[in-house]
Amino acid sequence: MQTNTIPPLDLSPAKWIWLPSERCLPNTFVLFRRELNLAHAPRVARGWLTADSRYRLTVNGQRVQWGPAPCDPRWPEVDPCDLTALLQPGTNVIGVEVCYFGQGDGTWAMGAPGFIFRLEIDGQLVVSDASWKTCIDRAHRPGMYKRWFLRALQEEFDARLHPFGWDTPEFQPGPEYVLGADDATQFVGAAGQLGCGERPELRAREIPLMHETIVAALPLADCGRVTWHRDPNDWFESRVPGSFSITRDAGVDGAVPAANEGFFFSFGMPGQVVGFPRFTIDAAEGTIVEMMVRESHDVATGPLWMENYIFHWTRFICREGANEFESFDYESVMWIQLHVRNAKRPVTIRDVGVRRREYPWPNAPHIRCAEPALQSLFDASVNTLRNSCLETAVDGMGRERQQYSGDGSHQVQAVRPAFGDTKLPARFLKTFSQGLTLDGYFLDCWPAYDRLARLMQRQIGTTVWGPILDHGVGFNFDCWQHYLETGDRAALEEPYPRLKRFAGYLAALRRDDGLLPVENIGVPTVWIDHHAYRHESHKHCAFNLYVAAMFQHALANLAAAFGDDPEP
């Protein structure tokens, strides 16, 4: 059931383009370069762009924005861009660096390489077509393995191979730069078309672009020595036990590690942030830095080694001299640890921090009380919302970064009164509802590639986890609560028909006694806190009461708002 109440965005004559190729490996980075010659500074230069899977837009080497937001592959969202203040008289270069995940990510269900761009400069069009020069960025090795089953990009960046300045007017592209493929949709499995041959409907982004600020880390908190007993890759790639030993040692500052050694340097942030970790290091060519991040750490009692169970490391390989490094994808960060090895001379580290990304909230919450401990709790709660509600309202920003109904959507209920924002909650309702399956139940989080994989796993019995029906029940309350607080029926035009389809699915499950089962219902499952119920009858009672409340207090009210019979 494809319900679409938003008119598609027409980017013609722009085309989906890509590097001319017959295949594209996972985690391939492609650079797109377009020169513009302007007689004068533009009065207006605004446009749209998106890419599969992520892009970083620059103008004359200056970072502009990063995107796109996680979305359903059938309705990709296109980001606006305003380049008016960045373009200048003479030669300008628009640069777009695109990473194609090529495999499922916790935030990305699409999976075909492509880039599309349309810019209008004082009435003149600049579009993605065969005039763009393209090149693989070999600093990011194509085919790099997946970080975790919910995170696609395990980033490794070799500065010795990167064409620095590629997105500036002074740069002269070499023979490795070729004209882009005229229409990427002509390739099998390319972006701009679905597997069934249908074109996805591009939609204009409905929420503001994220706001980025640089947050500096606190001074060095800890440092020490790592002695490797095996090839370090045995640890980073395979977690082989006994690969290293680690000790605290303040004497490593200014020293040079031995052949089997590395030094670690740990930095705390002034608060929990979400963004792109960054640092500058002056080092010899070939020096290797593994940057690891954590959401919590105690210098006095915590482990010295900060890498955690979901492989939060990014590898950088230095060229000679000063290297300014920043991760391509964002992380959830309270601590940054730099592990330095293969250094032929002492290194100097500075400017450690994070390019924080935040939703540009229309209002700042002001919650004040006289109790310091309670005030700290309020402040932490507000900061949690700032970190967990970006383009999507997610559970586990440091892990899967996926939005759920049921045990995650309570965030959007706090966003409305605390920040006065209704656009992000409205987007949550639309994007989550797009995860309705052909059978009529909702995927319990969406967009999320692993939920598609879970459907297959359930079919062959390799997991106990299926799409959680009680999250779909909770989603009815999410929709009703939004309408109750805002009166914004337009935000429900797309979700509401899907709610009715879900209600029909539940009705079809009823047993002869009129109740809904909670076990042996096929692919979906009923969770409803599976640890709390000692007997199936308890879970059975709770789920049926929950569904009854959904029909009576959520769906019936929405039906009345839409002019339908609340008691069909």
Mean pLDDT of all residues belonging to the chain: 93
The candidate with the shortest Cα–Cα distance to 269, out of 341, 346, 213, 340, is 213
CATH topology of domain 28-205: Jelly Rolls (2.60.120)
Phi, psi of 28 (to 5 degrees): -85, 135
Place 190 in a pLDDT band, splitting at 50, 70 and 90: low
Question: What is the rounded distance in angstroms from the CA atom of residue 311 to the CA atom of residue 403?
Answer: 21
Residue type, 206: E
Q: What is the pLDDT of residues 274-289, one digit of tens each?
A: 999 999 999 999 999 9
Place 2 in a pLDDT band, splitting at 50, 70 and 90: very low
CA torsion 520-526-531-537 (nearest 10°) is -60
Q: In the Cβ-directed half-sphere of 326, how many Cα atoms lie within 13 Å? A: 15
Helices (H), 434-535: 449-459, 469-486, 495-509
Q: Is the peptide bond before 68 cis (omega within 30 degrees of 0)?
A: yes
Q: What is the pLDDT of residues 371-390, one digit of tens each?
A: 999 999 999 999 999 999 99
Confidence (pLDDT) at 228 = 99
Q: What is the pLDDT of residues 213-272, one digit of tens each?
A: 999 999 999 999 999 999 999 999 999 999 999 999 999 999 999 999 999 999 999 999
Average pLDDT over residues 462-467: 91
Cβ neighbours for 412, distance < 8 A, ≥ 6 positions apart: 389, 393, 424, 425, 428, 478, 482
The residue ranking higher by pLDDT, 428 or 409, is 428
Question: What is the rounded distance in angstroms from the CA atom of residue 225 to the CA atom of residue 222?
Answer: 11
Is the dihedral angle over the CA atoms 248, 251, 255, 259 positive or is it negative? negative
Place 198 in a pLDDT band, splitting at 50, 70 and 90: low
What's the pTM? 0.95
Q: Which two tokens stand for residue 476?
A: 């009815």
Cβ neighbours for 50, distance < 8 A, ≥ 6 positions apart: 67, 68, 76, 77, 78, 79, 115, 116, 202
Q: At what angle do helices 469-486 and 536-549 cross, to 10 degrees?
A: 30
The candidate with the shortest Cα–Cα distance to 263, out of 246, 280, 285, 239, is 246
Confidence (pLDDT) at 449 = 84
Helices (H), 94-163: none
274: left (phi over 0), alpha (psi -120 to 50) or beta: beta
Confidence (pLDDT) at 6 = 67
Give a three-class secondary structure readout of 442-467.
ECCECCCHHHHHHHHHHHCCCCCCCC
DSSP letter for each residue of 65-85:
EEE-----TTS-EEEEEE-TT
Residue 5 above 70 pLDDT?
no
Residue 430 above 60 pLDDT?
yes
H or E segment at 536?
A: helix 536-549
Residue 132 above 50 pLDDT?
yes
Lowest-confidence pick of 54-58, 101-105, 530-534: 530-534
Q: How far is CA 106 from the centre of its chain?
A: 7
Question: CATH classification of 372-561, choosing from 1.10.730.10, 1.10.3720.10, 1.20.210.10, 1.50.10.10?
Answer: 1.50.10.10
DSSP letter for each residue of 229-281:
SS-HHHHHHH--TTSEEEEE-GGGTT----TTEEEEEEEEEEEEEEEEEEEEE
Confidence (pLDDT) at 257 = 96
The number of helix segments (H) and strand segments (E) in the chain equals 9, 21
Residue 1 above 60 pLDDT?
no
H or E segment at 306?
A: none
Highest average pLDDT, of 101-115, 136-150, 525-539, comes from 136-150
The residue ranking higher by pLDDT, 106 or 26, is 26
CATH architecture of 213-358: Sandwich (2.60)
Question: What is the rounded distance in angstroms from the CA atom of residue 17 to the CA atom of residue 184?
Answer: 5
Residue 3 above 60 pLDDT?
no
Q: What is the pLDDT of residues 348-368, one digit of tens each?
A: 999 999 999 999 999 999 999
Average pLDDT over residues 322-346: 98
Residue type, 137: D
Residue 432 above 50 pLDDT?
yes
Confidence (pLDDT) at 304 = 97
Question: What is the rounded distance in angstroms from the CA atom of residue 276 to the CA atom of residue 286?
Answer: 23
For the chain, percent of residues with pLDDT exceeding 70:
95
Q: What is the pLDDT of residues 64-73, one digit of tens each?
A: 999 999 999 8
Cβ neighbours for 563, distance < 8 A, ≥ 6 positions apart: none
Q: Name the pairing type of β-strands 321-326 and 261-283.
A: antiparallel
Average pLDDT over residues 529-557: 91
Domain boundaries, the chain: 28-205, 213-358, 372-561
Confidence (pLDDT) at 188 = 45
The candidate with the shortest Cα–Cα distance to 32, out of 173, 153, 189, is 173
DSSP letter for each residue of 192-212:
TS-TTSPPP--EE--SPPPEE
* The two domains 28-205 and 213-358 share their CATH topology (first three levels equal): yes
Q: How far apart are the first and last CA of the chain?
A: 21
517: left (phi over 0), alpha (psi -120 to 50) or beta: beta
Place 399 in a pLDDT band, splitting at 50, 70 and 90: confident
